[in-house]
Amino acid sequence: MNNELYKKKHELWLQILFASFAIDDEAIKSKLYDFSQIEFRHMKWVAQAILQNGAEYNYDRDMILYKRKSVFEVLRPLKESILQLIALYGDTPLYERMHSDESYFVEYIDMLLADEKNDNPVEAFNMQNRLKSLDTASQMSLTMFLFEESYKEYELILVYAYMQNRTQSVMEYDVFQDLIDESHFHLKSFCNMMAKLGILALPRELHERTYKIEDLKKFIQDGIAEEEAAKEMCRELSSSIEDEELSKFFDFINNQESYHIELMKRLLDA
């Protein structure tokens, strides 16, 4: 296993994840999201195998999120990407596991493609706001918040995963896992909202300066300051947005950020 395989796994994780965000049908969305989480675990196992071999991996990627207009336009290239990846696999237990999982994903996609009724329009990229309850100012604030935070959550997932694969401390491993899980949920929430606004976009690529952390303490301190800033943004959005449901959602996220700070302080105390 090498960095080239890791890069393709990273790209496939994003491709499945963003297919899930782009598609409105709740059953398909949910299934694809589950697949993306399985794919993320593959990434973790591939990373560990690479490190055990004394090699390195990185977060470089080479992909574009195309503005697809229908469910089948999303699913067909996704199926091709999965098949291309499977063709690269060898015969270790990990390869066999990934092959088995992804063969199942392809079967599911084939089942969807066999029924034209599944080929509904995709509105995630059309720039047409479907959150009609928002006034212009709220929509602009929300748009900026979503771009900012979707990148941050993607960054946090990858940075914590990078550190988790390198720590020898069980406590650190555990805290990193909690933070990764929480960021997955936030990324999902924010990107599904971007899809409703018609502005779904891939978070930009991470440069190695972002995830090769030389000073963990400084990184955590900066991270706590960022969490505080995110809390403030949630508070502002909650009070300025007139949509009650959205407002409650941002209060909920705000309260979750509070506990993230507590988790991060544990890393500082370690």
Partner 1 sequence: MLENVEVPEGMNKEVLEHLMYPHNYGKLENPSAVGVAVDNVTGEYVIMYLELNKEQITDVRFATNGCQDTVVVGSMFTDMILTQKTSYAQKAVEKIYEKLGSSMSEKQRVCADMVFTAFMAALKNYENLQNGKTEEAHILNMKESCETKEQENE
Please give the residue ranges that form the binding site for partner 1 (CB under 8 A). Answer: 126-129, 136-137, 139-140, 143-144, 147-148, 151, 155, 199, 201, 204-207, 209-210, 218-219, 222, 225
Instruction: Give the nearer residue to partner 1 in terms of CB position, either 112 or 156.
Output: 156
User: Rounded CA gap, 263 and 249, in Å?
Assistant: 21
Give min distance, CB of 27 to partner 1, in A. Answer: 28
User: Rounded CA gap, 189 and 192, in Å?
Assistant: 5
Give min distance, CB of 205 to partner 1, in A. Answer: 6
Q: Which two tokens mark 171?
A: 């406590």
Which of 130, 104, 121 lies closest to 34 in space, CA to CA?
104
Give min distance, CB of 44 to partner 1, in A. Answer: 22
User: Rounded CA gap, 70 and 68, in Å?
Assistant: 6
How many residues in total does the chain contain?
Answer: 270
Give min distance, CB of 241 to partner 1, in A. Answer: 14
Instruction: Give the nearer residue to partner 1 in terms of CB position, either 1 or 142.
Output: 142
Residues with Cβ within 8 Å of residue 125, at least 6 apart in sequence: 22, 67, 68, 69, 198, 199, 200
- DSSP classification of residue 87: T
Q: Which two tokens mark 65?
A: 């999120």
What is the number of helices (H) and of strands (E) in the chain? 9, 0
Instruction: Give the nearer residue to partner 1 in terms of CB position, either 144 or 171.
Output: 144
Give min distance, CB of 77 to partner 1, in A. Answer: 18
Instruction: Give the nearer residue to partner 1 in terms of CB position, either 42 or 68.
Output: 68
Give min distance, CB of 127 to partner 1, in A. Answer: 4
Give min distance, CB of 23 to partner 1, in A. Answer: 19
Residues with Cβ within 8 Å of residue 49, at least 6 apart in sequence: 1, 94
The position carrying tokens 């047409």 is: 128
- Name the amino acid, one letter, at 90: G
Instruction: Give the nearer residue to partner 1 in terms of CB position, either 111 or 229.
Output: 229
Instruction: Give the nearer residue to partner 1 in terms of CB position, either 109 or 200.
Output: 200
Q: Which two tokens mark 81?
A: 């990407």
Instruction: Give the nearer residue to partner 1 in terms of CB position, either 102 or 149.
Output: 149
* Phi and psi angles of residue 263, each rounded to the nearest 5 degrees, phi first: -65, -40
Give min distance, CB of 116 to partner 1, in A. Answer: 28
Instruction: Give the nearer residue to partner 1 in terms of CB position, either 118 or 143.
Output: 143
Evaluate whether 129 touches 136 at the Cβ level (below 8 Å): no
Evaluate whether 67 touches 122 at the Cβ level (below 8 Å): no
